[in-house]
Structure 1
Amino acid sequence: MKLTIHGAAQQVTGSMHLLQVGQYKILVDCGLDYDKERSLQSNEDFPFNPADIDVVILTHAHIDHSGNLPTLVRLGYNGQILCTPPTADLTELLLFDSVSIFMSKQEKNRKYSKRKGKFNTNNQPLYLQKHVMDTVERFVTIGFNKPFKITDNIELTFTPVGHLLGAAAAIFRINDDGIAKTIGFTGDIGRKGYPVLNDPEPLPPVDYLVTESTYGGRVHTKGKTVEETLVEVIEKACIKEPGRLIIPAFSIGRTQSLVFSLNKIFSSGLLPPVQVFVDSPMATQSTKIYRKHHHLVNEVAKDFYDQQGDEFEFENLTYIENIRESKQISNYFEPCIIISSAGMLEGGRIQDHLFYNIQNYYCTILFIGYCAKGTLGHRLLRGDPIVHIKDRELAVYATIKQTDVLSAHGDHEDLMGNVLQQDKTKLKNVFLVHGETTSMQAMADALEADGYPVVIPEKGVVYEL
């Protein structure tokens, strides 16, 4: 049995892991790599022939885990993609949205080329809608904790890990030439007590564990709940000062948890009413998917629904339907909260809201998630006084804030706890992926101090298991 980490090796994005059992090849995740040192088109340079892959396993829908699947299909992959039912529904939304982003960039490139007289081939779309449709047709859904025979020698079980509706760790039980072996891929691990989502379940014992390490060495803020943190920010940004609060949030997952938290705040009278705009068509669609799979939300959300109704609807909440309504928000002069995608500010309607508000002294921008290096969000968080938005250099006068109470990733303690559940005398290796090198090293040091064998894999290196 062989393991090769082809993506998210000593970086966060682009998860892609190849597990080979004899001649049978399993690809776990196939995400887009947003490393700014590479062009987007480099994502089609697979280090293997896509047609040689026998099956793909998708841990969850986020684009850094799913976003390169249509490229894989376009270049020859013709097998199944195994995932949970919510992951299939949410991934379909995200992949079609990726096409829209690709086409928008191509149009900007076309206009630039017309002005400058040269064409930048780096903005050609990786894939089109037809490739997404071909990809979606390959989804085969499997429920949580239901063993699935991939072959006579390979069995797959999805274990819930929180983080996002439908997110799962992929646990393989393998007969490798008569030797029983087990290996787990965590995908992204959530945190306990997260709004809407259930807590991650303990993983079964495995021989090898491939685990994310995004927050290795970092511990989330303690002492304040999500609601307490939001009340404090909203009170200052929208009530004590008649301003507006802009919250960049990923449309799928983060927005639903944020909306539910705001619902609890306003329905319980913790704050006077403030108008809330959710300006993301994809957030509206993904919320429908959350309703469709409502049996998978946590007990707090279910109880709220039973007692007070839809947790994703309340009196002061407006879901923006079209671009005309989105532009009208600029003419809304009362205090308000604007939730818009994307969370790292690399696309979506959030850029329009930033364009018109980044120089507004009465605007607060609250980041509630991770921002990768090289993104506009990262530049704002590090304090750049001038940023580039929509072909303009704009001075930053808005107040920039950040909180991790709504981070959907488990912190160092959560990640460590997930590994420490394993018997160190039986666990042969822990492979750390999906993290910056400093985070990986911090987690590796802690695990080794506890007596666990750890590998920080290099990209493309084959490990014999």
Structure 2
Amino acid sequence: MKLTICGAAQQVTGSMHLLQLADYNILIDCGLDYEKDTYQEENQYFPFDPASIDVVILTHAHIDHSGNLPTLVRMGFQGQILCTPPTADLTEILLMDSVNIFISKQNKRPKGKRGRTGPKPLYLQKHVMDTMDRIVTINFHKAFSINENISMMLIPIGHLLGAAAIVLTIKENGTEKRIAFTGDVGRSNYPVLVDPETIPQVDYLVCEATYGGKFHSTERTLEDTLIETINETCVKFPGRLIIPAFSIGRTQALVYTLNKIFSKGLLPSVKIFVDSPLANFATDVYRKHHHLLNPESQQFYNTEGDEFEFEELSYVHDKKESMSVSNYHEPCIIISSAGMLEGGRIQDHLYYNIQNYYCTILFIGYCAKGTLGDRLLRGDPIIRLRNRDLMVYATVKKTDLLSGHGDHQDLMKIIKQQDAGKLQKIFLVHGDVNRMNSLKESAQEAGYQIETPFKGETFIL
């Protein structure tokens, strides 16, 4: 059996791992690699023949794990794609959104030039539908036989609705081996989502390392942070709080937390707008799979009603409604995507409010280096938006209390569930070199054998 790390090797995006048996090839995740400006062109090429893959197993719906599936299908993959039911629903939403982004980039052209000058889309809506036709959903904790020599179980891992760690049991040459892929590890006590469950003992573990060496804030609760920020921005002063948030996962956790705050009467009533069509679709998926939300969320539903619907909250649907939010002059909270400010309706709200002294922009997620969000967080006094240079007069804040990734302690907890005497090796992926090295050092001190593979590196298991 051979394991090849085809993506997310010493970097965060592009998760893709190939497990090759004598006569069967399994691909774990097939994500978009965003590390280069030319990522659309770069993601056209696979280090293997797509037609040679027998099955794909998807850990969760985020685009850096699912976003290149339609390309795989377009280029010849004819097998099944296995994942949980919520992952299937969220993946369809995200892949359709990717098509819109590709087409938008293709249609962009410099001022004064004719025709389309952007990169050709990686795939179109037809390819997404072809991809969805190949999905077979598997419930958590259900033993599933892929063939007579390979069985699988999906373990809840937090991070996103439907996200799973994959545990494979493989019989080969008269021996049985078990290998687990964590996907992205969530954190305990996260709004709406279940805590990561224990991964059973395996022989090999492929573990993410996004926040190796990083520790989340523990001094304050999320509710306290939001109450203070809303009070300072919208209650004491007639201002507006703008929260850039990823549409799937982060927005639902934020809306639920705000629901708890206002249902308890901890703040005076403040209008809240969710301005993201993608978030609206995703919230319906969360409602559909409500039985998979955490016990606290389900208890809230039983006593207070829908976690994602309350008096102060309005979901914005079309562009006209979005513009009316910009013209709303009372204190308010605007939740909009994209989380890094690199597109979406959030740019409209930013454009009209970045020079507003009574506006606060609260970042609740990671902003990649070089993005507009990153430039604001590092304190740039001027930003360029819609071909205009705008002075930054708004207050810029950040909290990591809604980060969906487990920190160093969470990752070590997953690792330490494994008996170091029985676990032959851990492969660290999905993290930059410094993060990986921090996690590697801690794991080695605990007695584990660690590899930090290069992209394309193959290991005999």
TM-score of the aligned structures, taking structure 2 as reference length: 0.98
Deviations 1:19-55 (A, max 9, x none): 1112311111111111135432211111111111111
Question: How many residue pairs end up in the alignment?
Answer: 461
Q: Is the 8 A contact 1:249 1:369 kept in 2?
A: yes
SS at match of 2:241: strand
Aligned to 1:235: 231
Deviation at 1:219, TM superposition (A): 0.5
Q: Is the 8 A contact 1:25 1:54 kept in 2?
A: yes
Q: Is 1:24 the counterpart of 2:24 in the alignment?
A: yes
Match of 1:209 among 205, 211, 221: 205
Q: Is the 8 A contact 2:63 2:94 kept in 1?
A: yes
Matches of 2:40 and 2:390 in 1, distance apart? 26
Matches of 2:383 and 2:455 in 1, distance apart? 33
Give 1:3-402 correspondences, 5 Å limit: 3-109=3-109, 112=110, 115-116=112-113, 120-121=117-118, 123-402=119-398
Matches of 1:322 and 1:451 in 2, distance apart? 55
Q: Is the 8 A contact 2:152 2:169 kept in 1?
A: yes
Q: Is the 8 A contact 1:248 1:366 kept in 2?
A: yes
Q: Is the 8 A contact 1:246 1:337 kept in 2?
A: yes
Matches of 2:376 and 2:453 in 1, distance apart? 31
SS at match of 2:108: helix
Deviations 1:363-413 (A, max 9, x none): 111111112223222222222223333333333222111101111111110
Deviation at 1:226, TM superposition (A): 1.4
Question: 2:459 is matched by which residue type in structure 1?
Answer: Y
Deviation at 1:138, TM superposition (A): 0.6
Deviation at 1:117, TM superposition (A): 5.9
Q: Is 1:460 the counterpart of 2:456 in the alignment?
A: yes
Q: Is the 8 A contact 2:107 2:116 kept in 1?
A: no
Matches of 1:388 and 1:20 in 2, distance apart? 48
Q: Is the 8 A contact 2:108 2:116 kept in 1?
A: no
Question: 1:460 is matched by which residue type in structure 2?
Answer: G
SS at match of 2:112: helix
Q: Is the 8 A contact 1:366 1:403 kept in 2?
A: yes
Identical aligned pairs, as a percentage? Answer: 64
Q: Is the 8 A contact 1:101 1:347 kept in 2?
A: no
SS at match of 2:291: helix
Deviations 1:101-120 (A, max 9, x none): 111112223xx2x7246864
Deviations 1:48-95 (A, max 9, x none): 111111110100011111111111111111111000000000100111
Matches of 1:325 and 1:183 in 2, distance apart? 49
Deviation at 1:231, TM superposition (A): 0.6
Q: Is the 8 A contact 1:3 1:17 kept in 2?
A: yes
Structure 1, unmatched stretches of 5+, are: none
TM-score of the aligned structures, taking structure 1 as reference length: 0.97
Matches of 2:443 and 2:384 in 1, distance apart? 41
Question: 1:376 is matched by which residue type in structure 2?
Answer: L
Matches of 1:389 and 1:81 in 2, distance apart? 40
- C-alpha root-mean-square deviation of aligned residues, in Å? 1.3
Most deviating of 394-403 and 172-181: 394-403
Matches of 1:422 and 1:311 in 2, distance apart? 36
Deviation at 1:440, TM superposition (A): 0.7
Aligned to 1:416: 412
Matches of 1:283 and 1:119 in 2, distance apart? 29
Question: 1:30 is matched by which residue type in structure 2?
Answer: C
